[in-house]
Amino acid sequence: MTTISADMVKTLREKTGAGIMDCKSSLAECDGDMDKALEHLRKKGLATAQKRAGRAMSEGTIQSYIHMGGKLGVMVEVNCETDFVAKTDDFQEFARNIAMHIAATNPMGITEEDVPADVINKEMDIYRAQAKETGKPDNIIDKIAEGKLGKFYKENCLMSQAYVRDPDKTIADFLNEVIAKTGENIVIRRFARYQLGEEA
């Protein structure tokens, strides 16, 4: 049985934002393995977040981020359940970081469902044509195209993107950490990104 030190708990807490007791029990359950405990907490955070998903969210904040001397700007609406959580530093900082991330990565939408069908069809046509060029049989071509579409979603859908300040986690992971920390359901509702001189 591995002894769980206070430093180990502190390290895990800093990485996940989870409570002290949650960190301690995860480390104990994973025999002191930091990576396994981290994964365990992420899964637990996701499960907790899913349990809360049905609750109403009418509070929140609109945050903005202006970059490149006023040449690039983002506005994002992030919702939560109560005004109390909306005013916390953790929640406000999360919304600001999301605005900054959107400025850096220019996602097409929040989830896969937000990507227009014509864009998906066009991408699939390109991927199929590329796969055909390699001389692969027809039954493999669609699988290759679908694999490439999955990569396209990861790069272009906010929730699937690697978080710019911590590429080891996705925005969905980051969101679930904040949900676990605040104890409320939180959702990134919508965003707008403006670049000077860009076509509307």
User: What parts of the chain have a pLDDT lower than 70?
Assistant: 1-2, 14, 16-19, 44-57, 199-200
> Read out DSSP for 27-43?
HHHTTT-HHHHHHHHHH
Tokens of 175: 């969101």
For 192: left if phi > 0, alpha if psi spans -120 to 50, otherwise beta; the answer is beta
Distance (Å, whole) CA 50 – CA 53: 5
Q: Which fold has domain 6-52?
A: Helicase, Ruva Protein; domain 3 (1.10.8)
CA distance 158 to 77: 13
Residue 45's pLDDT is 64
Residue 197 C-beta-side C-alpha neighbours within 13 Å: 2
According to the model, what pLDDT value does residue 16 have?
A: 65
What local confidence, expressed as pLDDT, does residue 138 receive?
79
- Domain 59-110+157-195 CATH class label: alpha beta
**Is 116-155 assigned to CATH 1.10.569.10?**
no
Two tokens, residue 85 = 């959580």
Supply the pLDDT for residue 49.
53
